[in-house]
Amino acid sequence: MSQIIAKKGQLAASDVLGNAYSLRGWLHYANWRLSEASEDLGQARAIYLGTGNLRELARVDQRLGTVAERRGHLSSALASLNVAERQFENIGAQGDRMITLMALAGTHQQLLEFDKALAATDRYWSEEWTSNWGAALYRAWALTYNGRLREAETLLASAQAQSDPEEAPLMRAEAAALSARIALYRGEYAEAARLARRAASTELQESDRRDYLANALVLVQALQASGQSLEAGEEVRRLQTWVAAFDDDRLHAGAALARAEQAWTQGHRQEAFADFEVAWRYAERVGIPDILVAVGAAYGERLVEVGQFERAGAVSGRLSAWVEQDLRAARINARILQAMGNQSAVNAAFQSATRLAGERQIGGTPGSKGRMVVLSP
């Protein structure tokens, strides 16, 4: 591969050279060298345009979209993935099209466009895909984010029943992570912690560090909610040590959020608010809706609890674009209105949150002080 690229001056633009760039770009992606990945994939795309290889051109667009998603360039990711999906459909490459639609679903989820994420899986889904771990998992995640927990669990159970227990350890870790999240949404904290521990595998950590972070946050919150503060603290320290090795603002936002919630659980409010501010600065720097809402909703809830309504309103105001899409944003909006004493608006806001929740536990109604799950959609 690298030897072929080194001889590019001796080679005419050909599929062989395009393939070498495309493969090297994908290896860069796997190792989180995202600038290098974009460069090589761009070279491959230019070559395939010249050779007219439509399938490989579509595959490069798919890969460019996936790299853009990992870099946080979500609009660019959607553009590339949509182009690739249409090309695959035109040439009848259904397997590649399905993979592209799965990537589209994941990108829509980060944008808090959960209806579009589910619609993307609708476009490839049929019962014949139940035995395909990747297809089933993306579908189950999309169902979960739309509050359809029973359907997601049924799909996971069917996928597990149709697969070899010794195969696909990464997919099984992903399935355990999703099952942990579902248990958390239902308030089954001990079960959520058990499943999140099972999911925290080497395969998950090495495959996608952000998925590993999301599962770690589920574990921390489940332990905190079940009164296991010491165990939660150990997990927060372990998470912080792991995150410190990476230059990734999304990871640092999550680690700071976990520290803040742990400090709050232990009664250290000043320390908690300092870490919430750190997490919020990281989230604003990243600018991805999912990260902003994860941090902002948690921070806003704690500000409301201590009567800092002006600051809570400022934070929640940044989430206002998503109050009709995301349960966490809807919940903190309702809590702010409740604090302001606007009862008619409170009732409407909680009705909206209830609609978004589906089968998820909302954790609060007008007049209550219950908290909902806020660290994940």
- Shortest CA distance to 368 belongs to which of 294, 295, 299, 304? 304
Q: Report pLDDT digits (tens) over 141-183.
A: 999 999 999 999 999 999 988 877 677 788 889 999 999 999 9
Q: How far apart are CA 65 and CA 310, in angstroms?
A: 40
The domain limits of the chain are: 1-92, 288-377
Q: Report pLDDT digits (tens) over 17-40.
A: 999 999 999 999 999 999 999 999
Across the range 282-292, mean pLDDT stands at 97
The 10 Å Cβ neighbour count of residue 14 is 15
CATH class of the domain comprising 1-92? mainly alpha
The residue among 206 and 3 whose pLDDT is bigger is 206
pTM higher than the cut 0.75: yes
Q: Report pLDDT digits (tens) over 103-140.
A: 999 999 999 999 999 999 999 999 888 888 899 999 99
Q: Report pLDDT digits (tens) over 337-356.
A: 998 887 888 889 999 999 99
- Shortest CA distance to 304 belongs to which of 377, 369, 224? 369
Token output for 376: 């994940």
Q: Report pLDDT digits (tens) over 27-85.
A: 999 999 999 999 999 999 999 999 999 999 999 999 999 999 999 999 999 999 999 99
Token output for 122: 């609708």
